[in-house]
Structure 1
Amino acid sequence: MDITKPVQIKDAYSKVAAMLQDRGLWAVINNAGVLGFPTDGELLLMTDYKQCMAVNFFGTVEVTKT
């Protein structure tokens, strides 16, 4: 699942909800992350920073909120 794509998150939610039915969800293990290339920060491209934030922060928040 690509957690930067809300449609894929909602699809995963629907599948889990169908499997659980009325039993409820006890926990969400929300463990996705990208690092990019290990190098000095000033050498990274802005697109690397944006992808990192999209996955590591915004995607994680989106999964948690769903």
Structure 2
Amino acid sequence: MITVFFLDKDGITFVHISNYENENIQNQALNNASFLEFQKSRDESGLNNSHKVQLLEYIDLTTNMV
């Protein structure tokens, strides 16, 4: 699993990108107790329905970070 987080210059907006080897691993990660607690805290904070989930088509990966 590869996970990347980006924070917008507004200091509030963030993008979270996760790449899983397969659907089974994705389901394990998304049902992990700490992730479920994060979601609960997020939802209780008033951010309900402010998040958006998109499935993206994987094209390529490079490990050359600048």
The answer to whether TM tops 0.5 is: no
Tell which structure's C-alpha radius of gyration is larger: 1
Q: Which structure has more strand as a fraction of its residues?
A: 2
Q: Which structure has more helix as a fraction of its residues?
A: 1
Question: Which gives a bigger RCO, structure 1 or 2 (Cα 8 Å, sep 6+)?
Answer: 1
TM-score for the superposition, normalised by structure 2:
0.31
TM-score for the superposition, normalised by structure 1:
0.31
